[in-house]
């Protein structure tokens, strides 16, 4: 049974039983405490927790998920994958334990011919929470399972909660017994890989209190009982396809086979090679799916996880003996295996492939430079007589240069060295502990949002700002320091929830509106406007005067000047995006944006800098659209219809079933967008593209000033040009040539001055050589040479004098005032060093007296400080330290 068939049977089964089929959400999670959608239930959390009223009583989905906590286990076990698909069915106060157990057993054991999965009843085991007698009895009655195949386990195995105060409840898991060839008898309680968990049914029925781990109190029953179940699609696929693990199923095996082909090694012949091939197959698929949802490689957040997956793939291919690029072969294999279920991986493959290939090329260069650094470290360890490479060196290579520890171990071993793995592991543990602490600090999101649930239950906030700048409404709620309160007084900074608002909440790259909320006897300054949960708008305000209370009549008032500027900037973003695509092609796709009154920036997928001519062309095209006074219109329509019209969507952005489409011209630009816009393109006024830069190996950023801000910037440049034309007495059109001539003349003059200064320095050398004298066991010149232009001049004098004093033991120590600060440089020859005269030690001695620091190599070193008057004493200290 193919994976796509397993997926479709699930959706058909639950759809026929009254469940609303919900498309998979993006891998990029809406929850700010999560980087990715890590479980099938994540998109339904607001409904399961009661934060947002569920739009349907029961639902089903096949959700794309990414989870990398167990990344080191990938390839080593039959079931660990970073990308996986979770089949889920959900009930929001509808059916409960009996319904969930009935559906699960029916679908699993119904024959394939009748639309089920056709599992033999004798191969299925069940676990329940040890105190959940209801579930135990239901399994006995509905499935007819013997008691020994229903195992009672503790909270750590069969109890669910978010880890925070809130919903909780027992769960029940279904396992498939692979048979005695795969391990010991005894059921899932043994923890053996023989028993594969394929389905988890969570019975969300209690409200839990605060506590750590599984030690928390149950405060009572939830207002409604919910069902959240999940069946691992890949796990069922490998069981139904009769293969040994998830890496061998039809959606993953083609990449594994391609990796084997490229490496010339047979899958199944060597355990270590098999693990590497599985890692490649898993990580390439995960990377493909992440990039299809708009994630791009970077050094932080989601982009860092993607980059790590890509680089682990490159590393694994290298360990398989392949040093050349492989992604151009591996990624198409994954695309072809996944496109039946996710057509977007094919339609958007040009962009995905370009990102992947560029990242591989970059990392191969990193490996080359990392190898050079490692070679130096190996030589240093050998020279010191050590048989071990320091752990901090291995960690530096891993953490700073992205150089995998496996390659460090491999190269060190080839050189006859081991690696201080204990020290490396300790540094890695410290890093992970810090990362986990950071992550833990963000996991209070669900608890923090619970304060909004009562307000969201009253319905969605109505946004009137597309049509009105002022809107009369009423205060639904006031929140201060995370707690709901009834009144706020002068000076308080609180959140205010209104039934309707004309103030735009920050979203879609557009900054929140500025403005105020006023009512009878109170005036609130709006500091920020956000959507803390879907459908609810919260206004962060400071009470400027009066006192505001829940239930008061209130009017939201948008600052018209700010809104006008924001509309100009957002429409300018669309114009620049369209112009970019006209000039660069369709692959120059928006990857993010930010706009506010007078300013916009746009990130886009592109790997090369834009020439000045290209920037000018983009700017000219966008301003041409402004000149053409194109109509800007908006329409609300189903998402599928918008896509069929060719409306551009931002990768990684979340869209509902209905969307707002903004069209400029007919259509010059057509995008999905919830922001505010001008009515006609001419109202944008002017676009001044002020910068273009890299923000990653495959992303660029353009920034523009818009409207009056663009004009003021150009006016400032005009003033500068006018001043230059006046001072240089040159017409504007001749300025570039005139300035170029002046720069060339200046460089020539600087060169002549440098030649004169060099000659002057050389003329001083004979006198300095003649001033050398015997001090102790060496011939030495220890002297203050006065003021010099640079330390380089001082170094030139020192090395020139040393070279002329012969091969006997020589020490030259010269000091000077450079830019008002003291500098001393010491040089020794080999004969002097053999007597113990070390330049670094002598320079450090002098620098200590000069009020600074210094040091260097034994043959040449430099010191400095802040006290010019101490030069004489510092030179005396050098003389005293010379060998006798």
Distance CA 362, CA 544 (A): 54
Return d(Cα 680, Cα 709) in angstroms, integer: 19
Is 677 flagged in the annotation as binding? yes
Pairwise CA distance, residues 724 & 737, whole Å: 13
Token digits of residue 473:
């409404």
User: For 505, which DSSP code?
Assistant: P
Closest CA to 60 of 111, 113, 99, 27: 99
Q: Are strands 150-153 and 124-129 parallel, antiparallel or unpaired?
A: parallel
Q: Could you tell me where the DSSP H helices lie in 3-154?
A: 3-15, 45-48, 97-109, 133-138
How far apart CA 734 and CA 108 sit, in angstroms, is 82
Instruction: Provide the terminal-to-terminal Cα distance of the chain, rounded to the nearest Å.
Output: 90
Separation between Cα atoms, residue 21 and residue 463, nearest integer Å: 28
Please state the φ and ψ torsions of residue 377, each to the nearest 5 degrees: -65, -40
Q: How far apart are CA 168 and CA 161, in angstroms?
A: 4
SS3 734: helix
Helical H segments across 186-270, by residue range = 233-240, 253-263
Please check whether residue 238 is in contact with residue 244, taking contact to mean a CB–CB distance below 8 angstroms: yes
Tokens of 331: 């990624």
Strands 418-419, 388-389: pairing kind: parallel
In which region does residue 720 sit, left (phi positive, over 0), alpha (psi from -120 to 50) or beta (all else)? alpha
673 assigned to a ligand binding site: yes
| Closest by CA position to 338, among listed 21, 1, 3 | 3
Look up residue 741 and give its two tokens.
């001539």
Q: Are 214 and 155 in contact (CB under 8 A)?
A: yes
SS3 (DSSP) at 267: coil
- Angle formed at CA 274 by CA 273 and CA 280, multiple of 5 degrees: 90
Structure tokens at 756: 């004169």
- Residue 469 near residue 500 (C-beta atoms within 8 A): no
Beta strands in 747-837 (DSSP E): 773-775, 778-788, 810-818, 821-828
Q: Please name the residues in contact with 133: beta carbons below 8 A apart, sequence gap of 6 or more.
A: none
User: Is 320 in contact with 259 (CB distance < 8 Å)?
Assistant: yes
- Read off the tokens for 838: 């070390």
CB 517 within 8 A of CB 557: yes
Structure tokens at 403: 């150089």
With CA atoms as reference, report the closest residue to 377 among 365, 389, 368, 366.
389
| Alpha carbon 598 to chain centroid, angstroms | 28
SS3 506: coil
SS3 403: coil
3-state secondary structure at position 547: strand
For 622-681, the three-class secondary structure string (H helix, E strand, C coil) is HHHHHHCCCEEEEEEEEHHHHHHCCCECCCCCCCCCEEEEEEECCCCEEEECCCCCCCEH
Q: Cα-flanking dihedrals φ and ψ of residue 595, to 5°?
A: -145, 145
Please name the residues in contact with 17: beta carbons below 8 A apart, sequence gap of 6 or more. Answer: 103
d(CA 628, CA 617): 16
Q: Which residue has the tokens 């011919």?
A: 113
Which residue positions form the known binding site? 570, 574, 673, 677
Which residue positions form the known binding site for Zn(2+)? 570, 574, 673, 677
């Amino acid at each position: 049974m193919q994976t796509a068939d397993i997926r479709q049977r699930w959706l058909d089964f639950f759809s026929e039983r009254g469940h609303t089929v919900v498309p998979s959400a993006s891998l990029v999670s809406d929850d700010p405490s999560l980087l990715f959608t890590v479980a099938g239930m994540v998109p339904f959390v607001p409904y399961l927790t009661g934060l947002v009223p569920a739009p349907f009583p029961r639902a089903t989905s096949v959700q794309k998920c990414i989870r990398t906590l167990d990344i080191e286990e990938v390839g080593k076990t039959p079931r660990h994958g970073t990308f996986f698909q979770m089949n889920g069915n959900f009930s929001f106060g509808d059916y409960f334990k009996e319904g969930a157990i009935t559906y699960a057993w029916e679908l699993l054991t119904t024959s394939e011919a009748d639309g089920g999965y056709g599992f033999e009843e004798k191969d299925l085991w069940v676990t329940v929470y040890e105190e959940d007698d209801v579930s135990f009895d239901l399994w006995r009655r509905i499935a007819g399972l013997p008691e020994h195949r229903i195992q009672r386990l503790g909270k750590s195995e069969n109890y669910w909660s978010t880890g925070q105060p809130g919903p909780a409840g027992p769960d029940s898991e279904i396992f498939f017994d692979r048979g005695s060839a795969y391990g010991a008898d005894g059921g899932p309680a043994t923890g053996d890989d023989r028993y594969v968990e394929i389905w988890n049914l969570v019975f969300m029925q209690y409200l839990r209190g605060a506590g750590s781990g599984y030690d928390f109190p149950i405060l009572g029953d939830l207002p409604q009982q919910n069902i959240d179940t999940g069946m691992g699609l890949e796990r069922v696929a490998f069981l139904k396809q009769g293969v040994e693990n998830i890496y061998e199923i039809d959606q993953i095996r083609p990449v594994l086979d391609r990796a084997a082909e490229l490496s010339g090694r047979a899958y199944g012949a060597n355990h270590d090679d098999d693990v590497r091939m599985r890692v490649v197959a898993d990580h390439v698929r995960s990377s493909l799916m992440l990039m299809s949802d708009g994630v791009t490689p970077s050094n932080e957040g989601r982009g860092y996880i993607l980059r790590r997956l890509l680089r682990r793939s490159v590393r694994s291919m290298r360990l398989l003996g392949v040093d050349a690029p492989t992604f151009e072969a591996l990624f198409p294999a994954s695309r072809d295996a996944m496109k039946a279920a996710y057509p977007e991986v094919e339609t958007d493959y040009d962009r995905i492939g370009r990102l992947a290939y560029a990242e591989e090329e970059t990392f191969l260069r990193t490996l080359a430079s990392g190898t050079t650094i490692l070679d130096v470290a190996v030589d240093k360890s050998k020279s010191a007589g050590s048989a071990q490479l320091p752990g901090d060196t291995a960690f530096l290579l891993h953490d700073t240069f992205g150089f995998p520890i496996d390659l460090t171990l491999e190269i060190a071993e080839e050189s006859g060295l081991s690696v201080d793995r204990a020290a490396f592991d300790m540094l890695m543990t410290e890093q992970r502990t810090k990362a986990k602490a950071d992550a833990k600090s963000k996991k209070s999101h669900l608890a923090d949002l619970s304060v909004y649930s009562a307000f969201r239950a009253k319905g969605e906030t109505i946004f009137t700002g597309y049509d009105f700048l002022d809107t009369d409404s009423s205060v639904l709620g006031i929140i201060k320091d995370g707690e709901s309160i009834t009144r706020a007084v002068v000076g308080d900074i609180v959140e205010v929830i209104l039934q309707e608002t004309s103030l735009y909440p920050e979203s879609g790259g557009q900054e929140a509106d500025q403005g105020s909320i006023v009512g009878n006897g109170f005036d609130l300054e709006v500091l920020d406007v956000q959507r803390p949960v879907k459908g609810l708008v919260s206004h962060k305000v400071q009470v400027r005067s009066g006192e505001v209370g829940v239930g008061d009549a209130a009017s939201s008032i948008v600052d018209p000047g700010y809104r006008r500027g924001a509309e100009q900037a957002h429409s300018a973003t669309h114009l620049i995006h369209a112009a970019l695509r006209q000039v660069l092609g369709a692959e120059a796709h928006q990857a993010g944006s930010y706009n506010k009154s007078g300013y916009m920036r746009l990130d886009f997928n592109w790997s090369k800098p834009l020439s000045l001519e290209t920037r000018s062309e983009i700017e000219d095209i966008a301003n041409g659209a402004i000149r053409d006074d194109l109509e800007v219109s908006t329409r609300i329509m189903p998402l599928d219809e918008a896509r069929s019209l060719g409306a551009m969507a931002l990768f990684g952005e979340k869209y509902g079933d209905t969307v707002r489409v903004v069209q400029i011209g007919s259509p010059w630009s057509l995008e999905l967008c919830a922001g505010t816009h001008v009515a006609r393109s001419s109202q944008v006024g002017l676009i001044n593209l002020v910068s273009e830069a890299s923000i990653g190996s495959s992303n660029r950023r353009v920034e523009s000033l818009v409207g009056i801000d663009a004009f003021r910037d150009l006016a400032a440049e005009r003033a500068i040009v006018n001043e230059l034309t006046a001072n240089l007495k040159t017409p504007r059109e001749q300025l570039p040539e005139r300035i170029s001539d002046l720069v060339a003349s200046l460089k020539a003059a600087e060169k002549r001055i440098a030649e004169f200064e060099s000659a002057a320095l050389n003329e001083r050398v004979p006198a300095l050589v003649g001033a050398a004298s015997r001090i102790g066991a060496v011939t030495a010149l220890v002297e203050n040479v006065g003021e010099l232009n640079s330390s380089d001049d001082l170094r030139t004098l020192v090395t020139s004098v040393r070279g002329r004093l012969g091969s006997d033991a020589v020490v030259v120590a010269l000091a000077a005032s450079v830019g008002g600060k003291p500098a001393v440089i010491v040089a020794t020859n080999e004969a002097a060093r053999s007597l113990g005269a070390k330049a670094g030690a002598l320079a450090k001695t002098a620098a200590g007296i000069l009020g600074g620091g210094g040091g260097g190599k034994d043959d040449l070193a430099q010191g400095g400080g802040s006290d010019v008057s101490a030069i004489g004493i510092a030179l005396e200290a050098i003389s005293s330290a010379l060998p006798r």
